[in-house]
């Protein structure tokens, strides 16, 4: 259990680091990046396997892109 928590925390730290380092040019790209990270974490927490993690990452990226794209349109 503790090993799983350490892995999840490492993924969060790396994901946040990438979010700040990756120079996304639009809100849609930033939203997709953050959404994928959050979705992957949620998928892993809920499903506990690789398939759930990938599904969560895909759904999160799609949702984040849609929200970010709408923000870009308003600008």
Q: What is the pLDDT along the chain (75 residues), one digit of tens a residue?
A: 677 777 777 777 777 666 665 666 788 888 888 888 888 888 888 888 888 888 988 999 999 999 989 988 988
In a domain, 3, yes or no: no
- 12 is a domain residue: no
Whether 14 is covered by a domain: the verdict is: no
Residue 5 lies in a domain: no
pLDDT of residue 65: 92
- Number of compact structural domains in the chain: 1
Report the chain's terminal Cα–Cα distance, integer Å: 45
- pLDDT at position 17: 67
For residue 44, give every residue at least 6 positions away whose Cβ sits within 8 Å of its Cβ, in sequence order, or none: 8, 11, 52, 53, 56
| C-beta separation of 31 from 69 below 8 A | yes
Residue 70 has a pLDDT of 92
Query: Which residue range is the domain that position 67 belongs to?
Result: 26-75
CB of 58 closer than 8 Å to CB of 43: no
């Amino acid at each position: 259990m503790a090993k799983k928590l350490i892995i999840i925390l490492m993924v969060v730290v790396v994901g946040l680091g990438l979010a700040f380092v990756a120079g996304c040019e639009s809100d849609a790209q930033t939203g997709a990046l953050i959404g994928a990270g959050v979705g992957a974490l949620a998928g892993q927490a809920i499903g506990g396997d690789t398939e759930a993690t990938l599904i969560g990452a895909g759904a999160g990226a799609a949702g984040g892109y849609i929200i970010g794209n709408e923000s870009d349109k308003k600008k």
